[in-house]
Amino acid sequence: MPHLSVRVRATLAATAIVAVALAAASALLVGVLSESLMASASDEAVRRAGVVAEWISGEAGAAAEPGTRGDPDVQILTETASSRVAVPPAGTSRVAVPPAGTSRVAVPPAGTSRVAVPPAGAEFSVHAVPAPPAERWAPEGAFVVATTPVGTDGGTLVVRARASLEPAQAALQILRGFLLPGIPALLLLVAALTWLAVGRALAPVSAIRAEMADITASDLHRRVPVPRSRDEIARLAETTNRTLDRLELAVGRHRRFVADAAHELRSPLAVLRARLELAPPQPPAAEALADVERIQALISDLLLLARLDAEEPVHRDEVDLGQVAAEEGTRARTRPEVRVILEVAADVLVRGSAEQLRRLVANLVDNAVRHAESAVTVRLAAEGDEAVLEVRDDGPGIPAEHHEAVFDRFTRLDEARDRDAGGAGLGLAIARDVAVRHGGGLAVASGPPGACLRARLPLASPAATAPSPG
């Protein structure tokens, strides 16, 4: 059951435990009740035999003989060797004669065997006397029989009385009829109550899990709910929140370090670039100037990433994405031999930061120009309530196994690791972060023989773009 939830496992375990306990208790109850009812029936047979024996040995002793007084549950048998009553060994329970009373006797059917009398003074135990094959007076399993010898003036007689087992069987049948449907119903009730109780107990865990699933590196300020109960789950929530506190502090320090380091590097690099531009035109100076420009671009990217990670508030304006795409597509680049073809629809308006959206388009076009053979196509259109920007090149394309890796920071494919290819592996990462921050996304739309990157951004709603009255 490893794949089952804790709630299901707890319900099954509780139901199984209760089922075993109920089965054992039911078997014990039926056994004890059955023995008790059998003992009661035996006591009743003894009582009937004792009453008749008392009557025979008392007032009617002189006149008692085999005969009938109309009681079908009592027989008086004469002596016979085939049904001798044995004297029980020492320690066997003895028959106590009940108080004096009367009971009518019945004449046994013709052919009934007679009873032999043991020596005088012997005591006798009560036992069931199996009927002969022709006997139908006390069928086996339906009656309990008790016998008592009685001495009379005319000889020794044996009183045999029977007690029906039908009341005991009826009681057991009623008990079984109650247990058979009652136990499954009780198990269902136990399972339902256990399911509800465990679900209630695990509700805070579900809330903690849901909150943790939504927390990302950009919203580490959020905390999981702490239940009011001071139990293990509450302590788990408190420990989780303390862990989030430490993580938020560590990530905040890292972001501040990146932002401060990048900011502090901008001023000396600007001074160094100015000096290199004023220096005599020599190959070392030109190479140093190119390196400074690359470092400045890297620092600019790091600053933007730090702001995106910190989720600084962005002033959202209405931006004509078609105009931004046209301006970036016609901007001069280091590879003038690569043509940029524009297929831009008019009036594709989105809301967001104009600077960040321009950076998104510029990074996509720069990346395509860097890897293209001869042409790059920039296509922009409105599809439903989204603006779809596609930048396609005719280069080697992006292998399927790298469709997600290209958006990782400082990740460049093997073909782009040479120094002349340019780029630090941050362009596509920044482009995706900007798209996500604006409620959209960026993904690789196709593979070889060319790469196609598709960005989707929500269009500005009419209510948001309508001019204010007056």
What count of other Cβ atoms lies within 10 Å of the Cβ of residue 452? Answer: 18
Q: Which of 24-28, 64-68, 230-234, 269-273 has the highest mean pLDDT?
A: 24-28
Task: Supply the mean pLDDT for the chain.
Answer: 78
Average pLDDT over residues 273-277: 83
Whether pLDDT at 94 is above 90: no
The pLDDT tens digits of the residues spanning 197-234 come to 998 888 888 888 888 888 876 678 889 899 888 888 89
**pLDDT-derived band at 422, boundaries 50, 70, 90:** low
Q: With contact defined as beta carbons under 8 Å apart, do 161 and 71 qualify?
A: no
Percent of the chain with pLDDT over 90: 28
C-alpha 372/C-alpha 362 separation (Å) is 15
> According to the model, what pLDDT value does residue 221 have?
84
* Tokens found for residue 175: 């008990």
| Measured CA distances, 213 to 13, 154, 199, 224, 255 (Å) | 29, 102, 20, 10, 22
**pLDDT at site 462:** 59
Vertex 394 angle, CA 391 and 400, to 5°: 80
Report yes or no on whether pTM surpasses 0.75. no
**Could you tell me the pLDDT band of residue 294, with boundaries at 50, 70 and 90?**
confident
Q: By the 8 A CB rule, do 162 and 138 touch?
A: yes
pLDDT category at 100 given cuts 50, 70, 90 is very low
| pLDDT over threshold 80, residue 442 | yes
The whole-number pLDDT of residue 59 equals 54
What SS3 string covers the chain? CCCCCHHHHHHHHHHHHHHHHHHHHHHHHHHHHHHHHHHHHHHHHHHHHHHHHHHHHCCCCCCCCCCCCCCCCEEEEECEHHHCCCCCCCCCCCCCCCCCCCCCCECCCCCCCCECCCCCCCCCCCCCCCCCCCCCCCCCCCEEEEEEEEEECCEEEEEEEEEECHHHHHHHHHHHHHHHHHHHHHHHHHHHHHHHHHHHHHHHHHHHHHHHHHCCCCCCCCCCCCCCCCCHHHHHHHHHHHHHHHHHHHHHHHHHHHHHHHHHHHHHHHHHHHHHHHCCCCHHHHHHHHHHHHHHHHHHHHHHHHHHHHCCCCCCEEEEHHHHHHHHHCCCCCCCCCEEEEEECCCCEEEECHHHHHHHHHHHHHHHHHHCCCEEEEEEEEECCEEEEEEEECCCCCCHHHCCHHHCCCCCCHHHCCHHHCCCCCHHHHHHHHHHHCCCEEEEEECCCCCEEEEEEEECCHHHHCCCCC
Distance of CA 307 to the CA centre of its chain: 40
145-204 tens-digit pLDDT? 888 888 777 777 888 888 888 888 899 899 988 888 999 999 999 999 999 999 888 888
Provide the residue count of the chain.
470
Q: Residue 1's pLDDT is what? A: 57
Instruction: Choose from 212-216, 282-286, 323-327 the range with maximum mean pLDDT.
Output: 323-327
Measured distance CA(122)–CA(232) in Å, rounded? 75
Q: Using CA atoms, how far apart are residues 422 and 425, in angstroms rounded to an integer?
A: 9
Which residue type is seen at 138?
A
Map out the domains of the chain as residue ranges. 1-214, 233-310, 317-465
What six digits make up the tokens of 131? 């009927």
Segment (H or E) for 109: none
pLDDT given for residue 441 in this prediction: 93
Q: Are 210 and 22 in contact (CB under 8 A)?
A: no
**415 secondary structure, DSSP code:** G
Q: What's the distance, CA 378 to chain centroid?
A: 49
Query: In this model, does residue 14 exceed pLDDT 90?
Result: yes
- Burial category of 462 from C-beta neighbours within 10 Å (exposed 0-12, middle 13-18, buried 19 and up): exposed
Whole-number pLDDT of residue 87: 34
For residues 364 and 455, is the Cβ–Cβ distance under 8 A? yes
Q: What is the pLDDT of residue 131?
A: 39
Tell which CATH classification among 1.10.287.130, 3.40.50.261, 3.40.50.1100, 1.10.3720.10 matches the domain 233-310: 1.10.287.130
Query: What is the mean pLDDT of the segment spanning 356-376?
Result: 91
Domain 317-465 -> CATH class: alpha beta
Digit-coded pLDDT (tens) for 228-265: 888 888 999 999 999 999 988 888 887 788 778 777 87
User: What are the tens digits of pLDDT across the range 120-143?
Assistant: 333 333 333 343 433 566 777 788
d(CA 142, CA 138): 7
**Cα dist from 441 to 326, 367, 387, 426, 435, whole Å:** 21, 17, 11, 16, 5
Higher-pLDDT residue of 300, 465: 300
